[in-house]
Amino acid sequence: MQFIKPLAIATAAFAIATLAGCTAAETNTAKPSSSPTSTSTAPPVVKKDVACKDGTAKVTDDSAELTVQGDCENVEISASNSLVTVSGAVGHVSISGAINSVHAKSVGSVTIGAGSNGNLVKAGNTPTVDDKGEQNEITAE
């Protein structure tokens, strides 16, 4: 019995020392609200014309709505997530980017590079296609 009393005292002292640093966390008394705390606005979409210089229109703007006026021999797209509209005929469209949409009156041929995925090309005809990407769609309207 003599040995149990000091052991009980030592255990109690250890427990007190161990738990002395523990405190209850402060509770938040703010009431929840169903109203949004802030609003966010999507960035504006860039809309602009792309010139066909020396027979080539170069599209480099990501997440944009771009227009090429008239016929253009080559349309080179090195962008992603853009909408490109060509009001005339295109000899060749090349794409090195993802998730672009291209609409043209007519297209002679389309080349889509490796890793360029999820693109859509719509034309008034069925062009010849060299597609090294994945999940690309070329259709005649």
Residue 114 maps to a domain? yes
pTM for the whole thing? Answer: 0.70
Convert 110-128 to b/e letters by CB count within 10 Å (16 or more is b). bbbeeebebbebebeeebe
Instruction: Using pLDDT thresholds of 50, 70 and 90, give the confidence band for residue 135.
Output: very high
- The pLDDT of 102-117, averaged and rounded, is 98
Domain that holds residue 52: 46-140
Average pLDDT estimate for 92-102: 98
Number of domains forming the structure of the chain: 1
Most confident of 5-14, 26-35, 36-45: 36-45
Residue 18 domain-assigned? Answer: no
Looking at residues 78-103, what average pLDDT do you find? 98
CA dist 42 to 11, 46, 81, Å?
61, 12, 15
pLDDT above 80 (res 19): no
Q: Is residue 115 part of a domain?
A: yes
Q: Which of 4-8, 43-47, 84-88 has the lowest mean pLDDT?
A: 4-8
The answer to the question of residue 65 being in a domain is yes
Examine residue 112 and state whether it is found in any structural domain, yes or no: yes
Return the residue matching tokens 């007519």.
106
Sequence-separated (6 or more) residues with CB below 8 Å from residue 61? 46, 48, 79, 82
Distance CA 88, CA 85 (A): 9
pLDDT at 25 over 70: no
